A = this chain, B = another copy of it.
Amino acid sequence: MSMTNQELRKVGLKVTLPRIKILELLDRCPEQHLSAEDIYKQLLEQGEDVGLATVYRVLTQFEQVGIIERHHFENNYSVFEMRKELHHDHLVCVKCARVVEFTNPRIEQEQHDVAVEHGFTLTGHSLYLYGVCSLPACRAAADIVKTGD
């Protein structure tokens, strides 16, 4: 809990109940990608008295100071996760919504080269691969699906 306090103070945010709880929640499920709603519901379930608006505000602040990352998948809402030390991209199962993280330095390098080639200074990027994963249930659907280019 004091580690959490440290982190918040370090980025100039007051240490408040909602912020502590949200940070703990994200910390506890490092492999999950939670939406604002998800976080809101879980907090309610564990008896906290927070508003959805606060969850959004806190998540936005956390993102701005770099504590967490926001991802826009192909749906229409965002998911959040603690910022990891090393950058990674996502492989998302379109059947079961499972998310696998991966790192590929060659892709990173190519991205950089492409940007330079076109006179851009990269500020960020997003790479999401969508597919059908190897779970039996999902597998069944994979056959009628053509491999993307």
Interface of A toward B, CB cutoff 8 Å? 72, 74, 76, 87, 91, 93-94, 100, 102, 104, 106-108, 110-112, 114-115, 117-134, 142, 145-149
Check B91–A114 contact: CB distance below 8 A. yes
Task: Say yes or no: A129 contacts B125, CB within 8 Å.
Answer: yes
Knowing A106-B106, A114-B91, A115-B91, say if A131 contacts B127 (CB, 8 Å): no
Contacts of A108 in B (CB 8 A): 149
Tell me which residues across on chain B come within 8 A of A148, comparing CB atoms: 122-125
Closest to A95 in B: B123
CB contacts (< 8 Å) of A91 on chain B: these are 114-115, 118, 120
Inter-chain contacts of A142 with B (CB < 8 A): 121
Asked whether A129 and B119 contact (CB < 8 A) given A87-B149, A91-B114, the answer is no
21 contacts between A and B (CB under 8 A): A74-B126, A91-B114, A91-B115, A93-B120, A102-B117, A102-B118, A107-B114, A108-B149, A118-B134, A119-B134, A120-B133, A121-B131, A122-B129, A122-B130, A122-B148, A123-B130, A123-B148, A124-B129, A124-B130, A124-B148, A125-B130
